[in-house]
Every structure is written in C-alpha cells, then in structure tokens.
Amino acid sequence: MQDLFESYVSDLYKLRDTFHDDLTSTAKKLSQAMDDYTERSQAALTSFMEKVAARGVELEAAAAVRLNQFRGLPATAGLPNVSDKSLADTPSADQVKIAAVAERALGTAADRAVAAKLGVENDGAYKSQSGHAIALVRSEPAA
C-alpha cells in the first residue's frame, strides 16, 4: 500500500512539473505574441500619424486655394511677395458696391433664418429704418 501511495505521489509530481513546463512555455509564447503585436501596433500608429500629417498639409493647401478663389484670386496664386512687386490695385467702386450689397443680403438671410427658428412675426425689423423695431415672438402656452 505504501508503494502504491508513493507511486501516486510521484505521478502527481511529474504531472505538476509537466503542467508547469507547459504553462511556462505558453506564457513565453504569449509574451512574444504581445511583443509582436505591440511592435506592429506602433508601426501602424506611426504610419497613420504620418498619413494624417500629410493629409493635414493637403487640406491646408486646399483651404488656401479655396480662400484665394473666394477672394477673387486665381486658384494657383500663392501669397504675393511684397518685396518683388507693387501692391495690388484697389477694387473698383462697382466691386465695393457689389460686395456691400452681398454682405447685406447674406446678413439679412442669416437674420431671417434665426428669426424663423425663434418664431419672430415682425418682418419689418429687416427693412432699413431709422429706428429699431421690436420683434414680437410667439410663445407656446405654459403646460
């Protein structure tokens, strides 16, 4: 009986050692896999950040082109070098008038849009007057 018990304990020790060796091997493989994943993640993040930075430069250039177009300059025009040439001509009187009318129209349209959201009833507030009109606002009855 004693021999059977010692054999059983010996088998348990062998099983424990085998399990420990397998566990250590698995832990090493997992650690290596995590290291590989970390390296690939860092490489992917670096690549992504480089692409974002490049795209940011592209967007800034596109925004500059659109701003130049908005200002009436050619799309390919860069910033003028003031040391090389004289200052740009001032806009004509017609261009100034057109710009002023366009600004007023945009301002009026924006004001009307806000007024529509707020439920303003008085449309006379948007006509040129010497004094300011008081706008009436519709309100819902309190519940």
Q: Each residue of 34-63: pLDDT tens digit?
A: 999 999 999 999 999 888 888 888 888 888
- pLDDT on residue 14: 95
- pLDDT on residue 81: 53
Question: Which residue, 43, 50, 80, 85, is CA-closest to 64?
Answer: 80
- pLDDT on residue 90: 66
- pLDDT on residue 101: 76
Q: What is the Cα–Cα distance from 73 to 65, expressed in whole angstroms?
A: 9
Residues in the chain with pLDDT < 70?
A: 75-91, 114-143
- pLDDT on residue 77: 59
